C-alpha cells in the first residue's frame, strides 16, 4: 500500500513537472547517468557483483555470513536469507522558470535489488537468485527501501518455483 502510494506520488509529480514544462516560459531538464551507487549515503549497504560471485553451492551458512554479512531478513529457521539494497542509476535535474519565479528539483531513478538464498537442512547453500525492480524518487530524501512485505511476496513466489 505504501509502495503504491509512493509510486502514485512520483507519477503525480512527474505529470505535474511535465505539465509545468509545457506551460513555463523556460524549462531545463538534464538527465545525468552514472554507474550504480547506493541511493542514499545513510543507507549504503549494497552487495557488489564481486561479492555475489563468491557464492557457491559448497558454502555453509557461516561462510555466507562471513562473506556477505548479516542479511536484512531471514525466515524458516534461517533456511532462507534475503539481502536487499537500493541503488541509483540516473539523476534527472530539472529547472522551471516562469515569470517572477524559478524552481527545480531532482528525480532519481532507483533500482531495488533483492538476493534470496536458501540453505538445506545441513546449512549448506542450496540455491540463490538475484532480483531487481525499478522505481523513482523525488530527490534523496524520498528514497525508500522495499518493505519486508514486498520481499516476503518475492520469497513466496521464489519458493513455489524452486527445486
Partner 1 sequence: MNHKLLLIVLGCVLCGCDAQPQAPTRDQIEKGPLSFVQDGTTTREDVLLRFGTPTGQFEGDRILTFRLAISRALEVTPASRVALTYRHDDQGVWNGTTHELVVVFDGKNVVQKHRLIQIQDPR
DSSP reduced 3-state for 51: helix
Q: Which stretch binds partner 1 (CB under 8 A): 3-11, 27-35, 38-46, 134-142?
A: 38-46
Q: Tell the smallest beta-carbon distance from residue 116 to partner 1 (Å).
A: 13
77/163 with CB nearer partner 1: 77
Q: Tell the smallest beta-carbon distance from residue 163 to partner 1 (Å).
A: 24
**62 interacts with partner 1 by CB under 8 A:** yes
**147 interacts with partner 1 by CB under 8 A:** yes
**75 interacts with partner 1 by CB under 8 A:** no
In angstroms, what CA-CA distances link 119 with 35, 41, 67, 111, 125?
32, 31, 15, 26, 4
Which cell is 30 given? 538534464
Are 111 and 132 a contacting pair, CB within 8 Å? yes
Q: Return the closest-CA partner of residue 96 out of 107, 87, 109.
A: 107
Q: Tell the smallest beta-carbon distance from residue 22 to partner 1 (Å).
A: 37
Backbone angles phi, psi at 28, to 5 degrees: -120, 125
Binding stretches for partner 1 (CB under 8 A): 38, 41-45, 61-62, 65-74, 78, 84, 123, 144-148
Amino acid at each position: 500500500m505504501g509502495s503504491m502510494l509512493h509510486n502514485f506520488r512520483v507519477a503525480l509529480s512527474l505529470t505535474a513537472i511535465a505539465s509545468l514544462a509545457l506551460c513555463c516560459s523556460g524549462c531545463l531538464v538534464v538527465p545525468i547517468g552514472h554507474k550504480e551507487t547506493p541511493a542514499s549515503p545513510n543507507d549504503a549497504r549494497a552487495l557488489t557483483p564481486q561479492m555475489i560471485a563468491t557464492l557457491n553451492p559448497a558454502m555453509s551458512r557461516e561462510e555466507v555470513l562471513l562473506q556477505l554479512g548479516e542479511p536484512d531478513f531471514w525466515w524458516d529457521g534461517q533456511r532462507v536469507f534475503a539481502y536487499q539494497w537500493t541503488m541509483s542509476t540516473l539523476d534527472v535535474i530539472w529547472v522551471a522558470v516562469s515569470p517572477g519565479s524559478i524552481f527545480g528539483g531532482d528525480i532519481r531513478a532507483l533500482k531495488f535489488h533483492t538476493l534470496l538464498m536458501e540453505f538445506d537442512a545441513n546449512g549448506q547453500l542450496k540455491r540463490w537468485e538475484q532480483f531487481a525492480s525499478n522505481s523513482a524518487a523525488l530527490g534523496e530524501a524520498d528514497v525508500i527501501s522495499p518493505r519486508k512485505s514486498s520481499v516476503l511476496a518475492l520469497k513466496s513466489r521464489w519458493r513455489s518455483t524452486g527445486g
